[in-house]
Copies of this chain bind each other. A is one copy, B any other.
Amino acid sequence: MAQYSEQLSGIFQALADPTRRAVLGRLGKGPASISDLAKPFDMTLPSFMKHIHCLEDSGLIQTRKEGRVRTCTIEKQRLAVAEEWLSAQRALWEGRTDRLEQFVTTARNKENSK
């Protein structure tokens, strides 16, 4: 559960940057290479790579190298961890079980115990 908290921190930290959110948006449409992903951004490759590493460390994407090309794919279950927490919060303060109950079940108490 301390682990769960660190996961959450990493995920939210990764989501806290517009470049990384845009990358996730792009990857939502399908896998892409590093250089394809980097194209829209006015940034050097090494700088961009830091964002990729951040996303990979958080578990939000996975990467795999074939030949000289590294392909990135989105890791759907990982964003669900963030959704779970938010849903748990909402359920908490609304004092009811809503349509997102499915997510809430286990997540609610984990985080509150820090």
Q: Which residues of A contact B (CB under 8 A)?
A: 5, 8-10, 12-13, 15-18, 21-22, 24-29, 40, 74, 76, 79, 82-83, 85-87, 89-90, 92-93, 99, 111-112, 114
Number of copies: 2
- Which residue of chain B lies nearest to A19 when distances are taken between CB atoms in the complex? B114
A84 to B62, CA, bound (A): 24
B89 and A28: CB pair below 8 A? yes
Q: Is the interface of A mostly helix, strand, loop or mixed?
A: helix
- Which residue of chain B lies nearest to A40 when distances are taken between CB atoms in the complex? B114
B9 and A85: CB pair below 8 A? no
Q: A83-B86, A86-B82 are in contact. Are A22 and B111 (CB under 8 A)?
A: yes
